């Protein structure tokens, strides 16, 4: 009996060691991948990747340069967001700079005076993502006024970019023009099926968003990037429905939320849409936004789920005095590519729709069969709904943040230490997510 117990203990120890080794192997593999990306980015920063077809380094010194805007569309469903990351190459920004370097339009990112308009998250798409940077030109500075004599920037990039990322226009701007800071407004669209939603109630709720409000209860904290104020001005917010069918199956008609502002907070639109869907389902009143704006009524953020990221699209970025150049030949190729994507997705949708219609005709129940929107709110949905204002709230997170290059971007220079309260997520959850940042600040 004692021998059996000893064997079991040894077996458990061996099993535990094996699991630990497997876990360690995965960590080392991820760390190695991250280091390779850092080394690759370092090589690109020092200009080792720019070369011509003969293999010789491209001589950027001999080429004139100009500052321009580039406008891209991308379907972000299969990417890990727009911004380049150290632990993955599956980002939009990575592919854009790969194309810029391979076409010898830029030597490296560091010297390109680069700015981006928006930071779309994983799974989010864009029809009008704009970047500004210095690129190679074939015109001398005194002759850089026209479009047609210049390099075909869109064509050069689109021959290298993946098929779901395309450059659709470019514009000449001044040397100090920034795609981020000179953007007057950003418009997003969030697409969703009508289902059995109360569109009038959702539109009424959306109307309360317009104006200047405190959105600390309708976003996620982004303290690592220096965001310490949560007041934003929404210029427009409304629900628009299209493909209106006068049929019993109008629940399959598509709608979208159009929301416009100069700047948005992290996950602000997905939080807004998550609440709007609750209003459309009749679970919340349209005035719920007024309660969430009032910090005295709602000092801490109630715990609720985000809307899914796939239907979100950065649809338009507005700039003053910018003349965009569109290459008709390149636009035709881009339209052809998008139509091909639309064809296969529309065929799949029609196929699923025909299956649904057949199944719905066989159901004899008088209950509503409109479940189209249930998958748009992330997380497990409780059978017994609890109103937002009665839910458990997120904990207070009070941080004394010393001066740092990340935080000081939005803090007055005379303040060396800032204390602020962010009632967004439990403190222990925040520490778990941002342990590296807190450790860098000497807070843990």
Gap between the Cα atoms of 407 and 256, Å rounded: 35
Q: How far apart are CA 44 and CA 421, in angstroms?
A: 40
**361 has catalytic annotation:** no
Three-state DSSP class for residue 345:
helix
Half-sphere exposure of 153 (CA within 13 A, CB side): 30
Long-range contacts, 354-357 (Cβ 8 Å, 24+): 357/249
Q: Kindly name the residue from 121, 198, 222, 318 that is annotated as catalytic.
A: 121
The answer to whether the beta carbons of residues 419 and 402 sit under 8 Å apart is: no
Report yes or no: 282 and 198 within 8 Å, Cβ to Cβ: yes
Task: Write the secondary structure of 375-408 as one string of H (helix), E (strand) and C (coil).
Answer: HHECCCCCCCCCCHHHCCECCCCEEEEECCCCHH
Tokens 């150049």 -> residue: 325
Helix 268-280 vs helix 199-207: angle between axes, to the nearest 10 degrees?
140
Q: Which H or E run contains 336?
A: helix 328-362
| Residues catalogued as catalytic | 121
């Amino acid at each position: 009996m004692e021998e059996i117990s000893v064997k079991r203990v040894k077996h458990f120890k061996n099993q535990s060691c094996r699991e630990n080794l497997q876990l360690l192997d995965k960590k080392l593999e991820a760390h190695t991948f991250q280091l390779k990306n850092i080394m690759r980015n370092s090589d690109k920063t020092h200009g080792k990747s720019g070369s011509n077809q003969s293999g010789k380094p491209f001589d950027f010194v001999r080429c004139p340069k100009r500052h321009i805007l580039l406008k891209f569309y991308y379907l972000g469903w299969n990417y890990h967001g727009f911004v380049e990351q150290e632990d993955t190459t599956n980002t939009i920004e990575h592919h854009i700079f790969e194309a810029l370097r391979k076409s010898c339009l830029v030597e490296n990112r560091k010297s390109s005076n680069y700015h981006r308009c928006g930071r779309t998250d994983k799974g989010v798409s864009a029809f009008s993502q704009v970047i500004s940077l210095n690129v190679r030109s074939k015109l001398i500075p005194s002759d850089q006024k026209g479009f047609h004599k210049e390099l075909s920037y869109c064509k050069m990039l689109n021959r290298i970019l993946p098929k779901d990322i395309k450059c659709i226009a470019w514009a000449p701007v001044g040397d100090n023009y920034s795609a981020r800071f000179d953007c007057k407004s950003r418009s997003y669209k969030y697409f969703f099926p009508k289902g059995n939603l109360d569109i009038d109630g959702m539109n009424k709720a959306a109307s309360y968003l317009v104006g200047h409000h405190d959105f600390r209860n309708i976003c996620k904290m982004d303290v690592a990037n220096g965001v310490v104020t949560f007041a934003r001005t929404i210029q427009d917010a409304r629900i628009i429905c299209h493909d209106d069918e006068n049929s019993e199956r109008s629940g399959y008609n598509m709608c979208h939320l159009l929301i416009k502002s100069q700047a948005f907070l992290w996950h602000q639109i997905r939080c807004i849409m998550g609440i709007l869907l609750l209003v459309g389902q009749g679970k919340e009143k349209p005035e719920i936004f007024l309660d969430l704006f009032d910090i005295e009524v709602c000092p801490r953020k109630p715990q609720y789920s985000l809307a899914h990221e796939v239907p979100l699209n950065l649809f338009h970025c507005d700039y003053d005095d910018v003349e965009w150049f569109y290459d008709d030949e390149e636009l035709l190729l881009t339209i052809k590519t998008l139509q091909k994507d639309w064809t296969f997705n529309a065929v799949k949708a029609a196929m699923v729709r025909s299956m649904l219609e057949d199944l719905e005709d066989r159901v004899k129940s008088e209950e509503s069969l409109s479940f189209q929107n249930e998958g748009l709110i992330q997380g497990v949905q409780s059978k017994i709904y609890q109103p937002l204002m009665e839910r458990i709230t997120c904990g207070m997170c009070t941080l004394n943040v010393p001066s740092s290059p990340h935080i000081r971007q939005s803090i007055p220079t005379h303040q060396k230490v800032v204390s602020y309260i962010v009632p967004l997520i439990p403190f222990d959850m925040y520490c778990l997510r941002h342990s590296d940042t807190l450790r860098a600040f000497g807070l843990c």
